[in-house]
Amino acid sequence: MLSSQIPEEFKDIRPYTPDELPQVFAELMADEQFMAVASKMVPDLKAKLGQLQAAASASGTSSLSNLDVQKMFFYPLVKHIISSCSEGIDLSVPEGFHREQPHTFITNHRDIVLDSAFLSFLLVENCFPTTVEIAIGDNLLIYPWIKKLVRINKSFIVQRSLSMREMLRASQVMSRYMHFAIEEKHENIWIAQREGRAKDSDDRTQDALLKMMVMGGEGTVIERLRQLHLTPMALSYEYDPCDFLKAEEFQLKRDVEGFKKSKQDDLVNMQTGIFGKKGRIHFEAADCIDTWLDTLDAEISKTELFPLVAKYIDRGIHRSYRLFAGNYVAADMLSGSVGRAKYYDEAERGVFESYLAERVALAAKNIEARGLKPDTTFLRERILTMYANPVFNYEKATDTDGCCA
């Protein structure tokens, strides 16, 4: 789809279109900061961008789609990250999953950059017809080249640094764009179930997200939700590379009045998330909620509807977690029991305990570097909670009790 075919109101937030790519590639190649940073990750960067620009400009009209760019440029990069920073990645979808229908994958959120990148990689690997358009907050687009790069990579921008009135209008535009992407562009969408990462891994869908979604579309509120084909998806990392940074942030917010992360903090989180140890990675989709939405009373009030839908999405995500030995060890350590010991052996417990000590030490070192005294008991509890909460949520969602099962 060309830029002239997309409503003007989406111009500032939508992904770039194929006819815009040649100019954007030229701008990136002329950006010294981008070339210096990206060259460390992509060998022969200038040559590769030149090839993409030439392909995009062929015959005077673009012959290169955003999906082509993902496969040629981003896919090999993500594949390298997977091979060097993880022990493998896989995707599970329900039997009979409708791959040709666009879906809005609404997921829990662990990593700033890689959650959506891994999903796109997996959709290509599993022969889906397209990847995902990605909702990304403008607070992360701290340099112009980052904004350009993510818009090449099929991202649309969630505008956050706005007044109340501007925020309402921006939410309306974004909602209309999501409906347009699903219904007219036939693209999948990835969106996190809440603003920002759930740093304690207690994954809950925000009502406000659902309220935004129904600002676009046609018909009743239920019909507007249905038009987006919401599909809960759980993503599970055996290890979260940013766990110690999240624990550090918890203590800083507790002890430093008005603490907010800096741009440098965001950069460190992004870099650590990309290059840090992840262990095994699993993505699992639950059933699309369309059929369930059809069972609801058409006269249900919004006050009842949004919490009900959020809870249903949460249950789909929680039931779809892949739980690793470390999750069960953390749950037992936090609750002071051994009720889940059948899910791990002594060697696995020892590995996780050593890992935990290492991560607490890293968080403590960072806090000391800021001139503050680390609370190692608190930091340990925070990291344990991050790994234990998926277990607690899974047990509630599946009506099982890990201590007694």
Q: Tell me, what's the pLDDT at 43? A: 84
Both 288 and 143 in a single domain? yes
Output the pTM of the full model. Answer: 0.93
Confirm whether 10 is domain-assigned.
no
Task: Tell me how many domains the chain contains.
Answer: 2
Q: Is residue 130 part of a domain?
A: yes
Distant-in-sequence, close-in-space partners of 391: CB < 8 Å, separation ≥ 6: 323, 327, 328, 330, 331, 340, 402
Instruction: Mark whether 193 and 236 lie in a shared domain.
Output: yes
Alpha-carbon distances of 397 from 92, 225, 280, 304, 331, rounded to whole Å: 18, 23, 23, 20, 16
Domain that holds residue 382: 325-397
In a domain, 271, yes or no: no
Write down the pLDDT at residue 404.
34
113, 274 contact by CB (below 8 A): yes
- Bridge partners (DSSP) of residue 189 are 104, 133
Closest CA to 338 of 349, 323, 347: 349
Contact partners, residue 41, CB within 8 Å, separation at least 6: 77
For residue 357, the surrounding DSSP H or E stretch is: helix 346-369
Residue 86 and residue 183 share a domain: yes
Rg of the chain in Å (alpha carbons)? 22
Same structural domain for residues 290 and 329?
no
Rounded to whole angstroms, the Cα distance separating 278 from 193 reads: 22
The pair of structure tokens assigned to 381 is: 């509890």
Q: What are phi and psi of 234, to 5 degrees?
A: -100, 135
Is residue 382 located within the same domain as residue 305? Answer: no
State residue 61's pLDDT score. 53
Residues 228 and 350 in one domain: no
* Residue 212: inside a domain: yes
Residue 276 near residue 394 (C-beta atoms within 8 A): no
Residue 333 lies in a domain: yes
- Give the whole-angstrom CA distance, residue 355 versus residue 326: 9
> Final residue of a domain: which of 289, 319, 349?
319
Helix (H) or strand (E) holding 236: strand 230-237
187 and 108 belong to one structural domain: yes
CA distance 72 to 242: 29
Q: Are residues 372 and 225 both part of a single domain?
A: no
Pair (150, 230) in one structural domain = yes
In-domain check, residue 304: yes
User: Is 45 inside any structural domain?
Assistant: no
Could you tell me if residue 12 is inside a domain?
A: no
Do 85 and 234 belong to one domain? yes
pLDDT of residue 62: 55
Identify whether residues 204 and 177 lie together within a single domain.
yes
Same domain, 207 and 349: no
Q: What is the mean pLDDT of each run of 10 residues along the chain (405 residues)?
A: 90 94 93 92 88 79 82 93 97 95 97 95 96 94 93 94 89 98 97 92 97 97 98 98 97 96 90 96 98 96 97 98 98 96 98 98 98 98 98 92 41
